[in-house]
Amino acid sequence: MWWLERSSFRDARGASEPGIQSQTHRAVDPGFRPSRLHRSAGMTARIVAVVGLAGLTAGCFQPMYGDYSVTGRPSIVGKMNAVEVLPVDAPNGTRLSRVGGVVRDDLIFGLTGGGPAPPPAYRLTVKLTSKQTQVIVDIATARPDINYYGIDATYTLLEVATGKTVVQGQTFSRVSYNIPGEQQRFAGDRGLRNAEDRAARVIAESIRNRLASYFVAGT
């Protein structure tokens, strides 16, 4: 909307001169936008408010894997360090026995970071089964070109003080690997070994993440 505003001329002393009046037209645009200065001031006020709120709530948060707890209770790292990973039960001399050792080593390193572990407050038991599946078969030779190697794992976390099972779950891993052919048997065996190691790392990471979730949420 546009309107007119009446004003009077004033002399240097600030008094209105009698008899001299005029109508000054001032346009007011309904789409008026604040100047850059006003916008900057508003943005600054919002930033100050956010920083102030962050300062008030900073003590309520802590890193998930921090070494210290703001509540005074044991940190997540302390609880994970106190998990004893028992040897994986598998027949000696089998491929699964070696894979079980890889899973256990990765779990111990993931829980303790390679440092010394305190007296165990929890004990973790892991059981594994493995299988191989042919994915692609050469139609000329009827030999498999690509296989899937899979691990299925069940795990149980026992609280030492109470003897109670606090976590129980299952996880799995599936990876593929190439089979070069009978002329390259060593390469084929090495491909299977690499697939076993990759699947073992996935299993260890999955179990570690599940334990971290329990220590954070309690479920």
Based on the domain organization, do 185 and 121 belong to the same domain?
yes
Report the CATH number at residue 104. 3.30.160.150
Beta strand residue intervals within the chain, DSSP E: 3-10, 16-26, 83-85, 122-137, 144-159, 164-178
- pLDDT, residue 133, reads 82
Amino acid (1-letter code) at residue 121: A
DSSP line for 83-108: EEEPPP---TTSHHHHHHHHHHHHHH
Based on the domain organization, do 152 and 179 belong to the same domain?
yes
Based on the domain organization, do 55 and 137 belong to the same domain?
no
- Give the Å distances, CA to CA, from 173 to 156, 197, 209: 18, 11, 14
pLDDT band at 92 (very low <50, low <70, confident <90, very high): confident
What total of structural domains would you count in the chain? 2
Spatial contact of 203 and 175, defined as CB atoms under 8 Å apart? no
**Higher per-residue confidence, 145 vs 197:** 197
Question: How do residues 191-218 score in pLDDT, each as one tens digit?
Answer: 889 999 999 999 999 999 999 999 988 8
Q: State the Cα–Cα distance between residues 13 and 187, nearest whole angstrom.
A: 102
Residue 11's H or E segment, with its range, is none
Task: Evaluate whether residue 107 is within a structural domain.
Answer: yes
Based on the domain organization, do 110 and 32 belong to the same domain?
no
Based on the domain organization, do 36 and 116 belong to the same domain?
no
Based on the domain organization, do 86 and 185 belong to the same domain?
yes
Task: Evaluate whether residue 133 is within a structural domain.
Answer: yes
Show the CA angle centred on residue 73, arms to residues 72 and 79, nearest 5°: 140
Based on the domain organization, do 194 and 125 belong to the same domain?
yes
**HSE value, Cβ hemisphere, 13 Å, CA-based, for 41:** 5
Based on the domain organization, do 90 and 35 belong to the same domain?
no
Based on the domain organization, do 50 and 107 belong to the same domain?
no
Among candidate residues 54, 80, 68, the one with its CA nearest the CA of residue 216: 80
Domain that holds residue 88: 76-217
pLDDT band at 13 (very low <50, low <70, confident <90, very high): very low
Based on the domain organization, do 112 and 24 belong to the same domain?
no
CA dihedral 44, 47, 53, 55 (to 10 degrees): -100
Please tell me the pTM assigned to this model.
Answer: 0.65
Length of the chain counted residue by residue = 219
Dig out the tokens for 201 from the structure. 């790392």
Based on the domain organization, do 44 and 135 belong to the same domain?
no
Task: Evaluate whether residue 70 is within a structural domain.
Answer: no
Spatial contact of 133 and 148, defined as CB atoms under 8 Å apart? yes
